[in-house]
Amino acid sequence: MFEKGIKTRVSELFSIKYPIIQGGMIWVACPRLASAVSNSGGLGLLGSGSMRPEDLERAIDEMNSLTEKPWGVNIPLSFKYSKDHIETVIRKGVKIVFTSAGDPTATTERLKKEGIKVAHVVSNVRQAKKAESAGVDCIVAEGYEAGGHNGKDELTTMVLVPQVVSSVKVPVIAAGGIADGKGMLAAFSLGAEGVQIGTRFAISKESCAHENYKRKVIESSDTDTIIIMRKILPTRALKNPFSLRIKKAEEEGVKEDELLSLHGELRAMRGIRDGDLEEGELEVGQVSGMIIDIPSVEEIIKKIVYEYRKIKQKLP
């Protein structure tokens, strides 16, 4: 039976059935995950923030072999390979790019000139206006509850989304704290026309995260995430010996360079890719307490859409 999609400016912009975007998470958003999302009616994004230029090139080829549906690449602009990645996506004919963590002005101009659709992730109204001025097609407003890197202003999805929506004309995708149909309905109530979902897709069969990490997230409860590196680069992760050690140092007023050396490099790789639950950085959103299983991407999307429609009918 033909099942109807959910139509918004975001679903039309990307020509997708449901305005559900899978966050381009490092070490998680591989071709297997992103293609499963696109094949299930959402928009899959490759997470290039953990890829070298040759890795991204290979991942793009793999995506093209796995899906004929629309998909994109997430590029964190602060990443050391971001310039290479911009050239790679252009050369390889990628059609959709989500940028984050940086000034979108120059990259947006470059990408738009090549006919690429561009979204940019923001965490306050000023950044949203700047992204719109840069010419993006759409804005992702990501709240404090989101996993991984986070804005310093700590605006939550509940207050960020309506303020961004009323400040720009382009459509807005809500991110942070959304893992199910209830969250999608709440985001749309606030004026969003799409949702970007990270953690829920990270804990799926197709996600390339380590099984240890997936199981740890399933076991976690509502209060098990914290923000570390609050003054430098706020990052939401599960509590574990590594993150609690960093937090303690921050509370003791340890200086920035000491904190950076205490943090060290490639901690997210160690946690998410390699499954080191003690000394890795287990980036995850506050929704981790709501995640209790490891379904397939198709099951996740079907359930979100079903719940969205059911609850919409029953609103008081």
Residue 185 touches its own copies, criterion: CB under 8 A = yes
Contact assessment for residue 179 and residue 284, using Cβ atoms and an 8 Å cutoff: no
When binding is defined by CB under 8 A, the residue of 2, 65, 115, 252 that contacts its own copies is: 252
Residue 316 touches its own copies, criterion: CB under 8 A = yes
Distances (CA, A) of 200 to 103, 218, 234: 28, 10, 21
Q: Please give the DSSP secondary-structure letter assigned to residue 84.
A: H
Restricting to residues 35-64, name those near its own copies by CB under 8 A.
none
**Nearest residue (CB) to its own copies, 43 versus 46:** 43
When binding is defined by CB under 8 A, the residue of 70, 135, 275, 289 that contacts its own copies is: 289
Binding range to its own copies, per CB under 8 A, among 35-43, 78-86, 202-210, 281-289: 281-289
Binding range to its own copies, per CB under 8 A, among 22-30, 51-59, 103-111, 252-260: 252-260
Distances (CA, A) of 284 to 72, 161, 226, 287: 22, 20, 9, 8
Residue 239 touches its own copies, criterion: CB under 8 A = no
Distances (CA, A) of 199 to 4, 27, 42, 81, 105: 26, 12, 15, 24, 28
Residue 310 touches its own copies, criterion: CB under 8 A = no
From 60, 57, 88, select the one nearest 72 (Cα to Cα). Answer: 60
Q: How many residues bind its own copies (CB under 8 A)?
A: 52
Restricting to residues 125-184, name those near its own copies by CB under 8 A.
125-126, 143-145, 153-160, 162-163, 176-178, 180, 182-183
Least distance in angstroms from the C-beta of 231 to its own copies: 7
Dihedral sign (CA 123, 128, 130, 135): positive
Least distance in angstroms from the C-beta of 188 to its own copies: 6
Contact assessment for residue 246 and residue 263, using Cβ atoms and an 8 Å cutoff: yes
**Nearest residue (CB) to its own copies, 18 versus 27:** 18
In this structure, the chain runs to a length of: 316
DSSP output for 200-217: HHHTSSS--S-HHHHHHH
Residue 113 touches its own copies, criterion: CB under 8 A = no
**Nearest residue (CB) to its own copies, 142 versus 206:** 142
When binding is defined by CB under 8 A, the residue of 70, 191, 275, 295 that contacts its own copies is: 191
Q: Say which residues have a Cβ less than 8 Å from residue 148's Cβ, sequence separation at least 6.
A: 25, 26, 198, 235, 236, 237, 268, 283, 284, 285
Q: At 17, which amino acid appears?
A: K
CA 180/CA 175 separation, integer angstroms: 12
When binding is defined by CB under 8 A, the residue of 119, 190, 297, 300 that contacts its own copies is: 190
**Nearest residue (CB) to its own copies, 52 versus 312:** 312
Least distance in angstroms from the C-beta of 275 to its own copies: 25
Distances (CA, A) of 278 to 26, 32, 275, 284: 19, 27, 9, 15
Distances (CA, A) of 277 to 211, 245, 249, 269, 271: 11, 14, 20, 11, 6
When binding is defined by CB under 8 A, the residue of 39, 40, 74, 124 that contacts its own copies is: 124
CB atoms within 10 A of CB 171: 21
**Nearest residue (CB) to its own copies, 189 versus 261:** 189
- Provide the binding-site residues for its own copies, judged by CB under 8 A: 6-8, 19, 124-126, 143-145, 153-160, 162-163, 176-178, 180, 182-183, 185-191, 193, 221-223, 227, 231, 251-254, 285-287, 289-290, 311-312, 315-316
